[in-house]
A and B are shown apart, each in its own frame.
Chain A
């Protein structure tokens, strides 16, 4: 059953359209990748799906969450679905985490808000989540402040926070872009494991085609505010219909290929 669906989503700023007529849906267990270059409107789309667009931006179309249109809804209505039905993790977990609060209490926050747990139950559950995202020594780590953790550990905390209330859709906006490649590989493995275990539907947003292709089953390609292609990952990679997708796949293939350079010229 579709949890999150948007039809004809358009976002404008001062009359300029930034996102145009975007439509797609997400059900539990879906794995959808949204790929595009900088400025394509992919992150704005993500923010709109959570009612988090910056002031001044105007939206039209529909954003259905469990069948209810949330477009233009008051913040009070959005707060009931954020973290509970639809969650998000961002590129840089430091901006999403409170620097002065132990991470365990930050994971516990949404549990108290949405599930009405008392402090000690919520904090016990938070420690369980630290364990589920494979943080070492969860009970001790839950008492640490964000800056005491590594970048990879912080992203694990952000994932625990996003999934603690068992949302049915997780939006991950460039969740591994700021990480080193070996840490990125660990976080991608963890994300794969968590969405299998929890059955959460995934919208994975990235500029990095190989990363998206490894995790998603369906691919949306965005360019200058529009969806230019949508299809199963394999079709988009092997039989792209739009020129843009074809070019994107070709560029990504060339850029990520491990070349074996021949000796360029004779020694002189």
Chain B
């Protein structure tokens, strides 16, 4: 087993005015070079958990550790270079008034990566190509792109600082099915090619099964089941996981066989 790179210990998060915690004593370990899926329905706490791992929200109690260090002792810029995120809706996550090149260069500027403008432009062209866009697309604006292409731009921005860990919150949920497939393939390819560590939040077990080696099933702020994805899918231990699996609408089975 590779060593833990990012972990949460007994994470509890209360939001004001709520009668139940959004996270209730959650332990999570992300190992270097592996992929972890966090699944659950709305209100399960999966996005809250992701925000803790991303360091943008603090637990009420418990601790996040990065590379063995408590997160508040890690320099912010060093952490942010290593850990980047892609959100669900590329319409609201991309600034409509910035060109694609400046959107993708944003983390390079704020993290002070690249010696000068030319070096950053080179990196922007590189990541645009990596996500299947053309370097000259950098001169255009987000509204000129389709939903799937905008998600590619968001992925390019996340990859620009060459992070080791990519967090993704429902990265394909807002997309049509054919486009969803392309983005899943792109993520799969990037994770393999760049050796990224992936943490994926989704309500969709099928998506998680295609991208993640390990899975964490959450409900009401707690982890109800965890393990290698293949085991959890074929032999779910928790009743809730079984109910979740049974509820997934499926095409006739013979159509689902791998080509």
Contacts and interface: CB of A to CB of B under 8 A. Distances in A.
Given A207-B176, A251-B181, A267-B2, A181 B247 contact: yes
Interface size class of B (residues with CB under 8 A): 35 or more
A81 interface: no
**Majority DSSP secondary structure for residues of A touching B:** helix
B192 to A, nearest CB: 6
A261 to B, nearest CB: 6
Interface stretch (B6-14, B66-74, B205-213): B205-213
A131 to B, nearest CB: 24
Interface string A238-249: 100000000111
A260 B208 CA distance: 10
Nearest to A35: B177
Nearest to A258: B209
Interface string B117-155: 000000000000000000000000000000100000000
B29 interface: no
A182 B176 contact: no
Contacts of B220: none
A260 B251 contact: no
A183 B42 CA distance: 11
Nearest to A181: B247
A251 B210 CA distance: 13
A185 B1 CA distance: 38
Contacts, number: 111
Given A261-B212, A264-B192, A185 B35 contact: no
Contact of A238 (B1, B229, B255): B255
Given A37-B177, A237-B255, A261-B210, A268 B2 contact: yes
Contacts of B181: 251, 254-255
B248 A261 contact: no
Nearest to B184: A255
Contacts of B209: 257-261
A181 B248 contact: yes
A184 interface: yes
Contacts of A183: 41
Given A210-B250, A255-B184, A259-B209, 15 more contacts: A37-B178, A183-B41, A185-B246, A185-B247, A185-B249, A210-B248, A213-B251, A237-B252, A252-B251, A256-B251, A257-B256, A258-B245, A264-B35, A267-B33, A268-B32
27 contacts: A180-B42, A180-B203, A181-B41, A181-B244, A181-B248, A182-B243, A182-B247, A183-B41, A184-B249, A185-B249, A209-B177, A210-B251, A237-B255, A247-B178, A251-B178, A255-B177, A255-B184, A256-B248, A257-B210, A258-B233, A259-B206, A259-B209, A259-B210, A260-B233, A261-B209, A264-B191, A267-B31
Top-8 shortest CB links A-B: A185-B247, A210-B249, A180-B41, A37-B176, A260-B230, A259-B210, A267-B2, A182-B247
